[in-house]
Every structure is written in structure tokens, then in C-alpha cells.
């Protein structure tokens, strides 16, 4: 039997594959100055419903086969034993590149900029992803959720604006 961490990773990768393959950026970096300023509309992960426990015999590749969040084991629910988290940098900021190759994933909502608008779009995608996986926790490190600025004041204002959105989305 696979470990829970491996299983969740495989599930996440399956979800990524469904969304990423065959889709290009809506506004690639080389055309950033020509892109319209409209906000991303609709779901970030269309066609993927909330991932549910369906048991080991399920043929649904986007279902939990072994992880049943509500099942009690030794007096605690499984979700309390396994407190999964989505790492923002690895999931929404990393490109899948390694030291020997080019990026391997391109999110369709990326506009190629490092703007506050793009940071907020990524944050909305993050929370849609978390909700569809049924995960309560997420993490980030350093300044990966908001762009730097031309000055310390601008950098702090950018961070404050994105943190405010994250707090709002967390309460939902």
C-alpha cells in the first residue's frame, strides 16, 4: 500500500495533468504588454469537482481510494491524523523546472507578469485547489505570495494587499 503522502501527491499530479496539458498561458510573458487587463473568469480547475472518498474499488482517477477524511481511527477522524497542506511555492509559483531543464507546467491563468493582480489570481487558484482537495491547511515561505516592489513601502503594500485577500479566502 502506498503511503498517504505519496497517494495525495499522485492525486494532485493527476489533477494538474488534467488541467495543464494542452493548455497554454492566456498571456505569455513575451506578449505581456499586449494582454488585456480583464480578470480571470470562471474556475481555475474546470471540470474537476471536489475530490471525494470513493473507496478502493473506484475507477475514478480523481477520487480518494484509501483516505476517508471522516473515518474514525482510534478515536480520531482520519483528517485529524493526516493534516495535509498545500505548499504555495511548489504548487503555484514553481514551474516544474529543474537545474537541467526548462519549465514543465504552464498554468492557463498566468499572464507572465509579477504583478499584484497576478498574485491575487494565483491566490484564488490556490484556494479553489485547496477546497477541491478538501484540505484545511496551506503554507508559503518568504515573499512568494506577493511581488516585491520598487521600494520597501511598495513591497509591504503589495504583501498587505495579497494577505488581505488570503485572509478573506480563508474565512470562506
Of 84, 96, 104, give the one whose Cα is nearest residue 11.
84
- Describe the crossing of helices 152-171 and 116-133 by its angle, rounded to 10 degrees: 30
The grid coordinates of residue 81 equal: 491524523
Rounded Cα distance between 134 and 130, Å, is: 6
Radius of gyration, alpha carbons of the chain: 18
Q: Is 90 a catalytic residue?
A: no
Catalytic residue among 2, 76, 77, 141: 141
Q: Which residues pair with 64 in a beta bridge?
A: 53
Of 98, 99, 94, give the one whose Cα is nearest residue 110.
94
Of 48, 71, 79, give the one whose Cα is nearest residue 61.
48
Catalytic residues: 141
Amino acid at each position: 500500500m502506498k503511503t498517504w503522502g505519496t497517494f495525495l501527491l499522485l492525486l494532485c499530479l493527476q489533477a494538474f495533468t488534467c488541467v495543464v496539458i494542452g493548455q497554454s498561458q492566456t498571456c505569455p510573458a513575451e506578449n505581456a504588454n499586449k494582454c488585456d487587463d480583464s480578470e480571470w473568469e470562471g474556475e481555475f480547475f474546470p471540470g474537476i469537482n471536489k475530490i471525494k472518498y470513493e473507496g478502493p474499488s473506484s475507477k475514478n482517477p480523481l477520487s480518494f481510494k484509501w483516505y476517508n477524511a471522516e473515518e474514525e481511527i482510534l478515536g480520531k477522524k482520519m483528517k485529524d491524523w493526516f493534516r495535509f497542506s498545500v505548499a504555495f511555492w511548489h504548487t503555484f509559483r514553481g514551474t516544474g523546472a529543474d537545474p537541467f531543464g526548462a519549465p514543465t507546467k504552464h498554468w492557463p491563468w498566468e499572464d507572465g507578469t509579477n504583478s499584484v493582480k497576478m498574485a491575487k489570481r494565483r491566490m484564488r487558484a490556490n484556494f479553489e485547489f485547496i477546497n477541491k482537495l478538501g484540505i484545511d491547511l496551506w503554507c508559503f515561505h518568504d515573499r512568494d505570495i506577493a511581488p516585491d516592489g520598487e521600494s520597501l513601502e511598495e513591497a509591504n503594500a503589495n504583501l498587505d494587499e495579497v494577505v488581505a485577500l488570503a485572509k478573506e479566502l480563508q474565512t470562506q
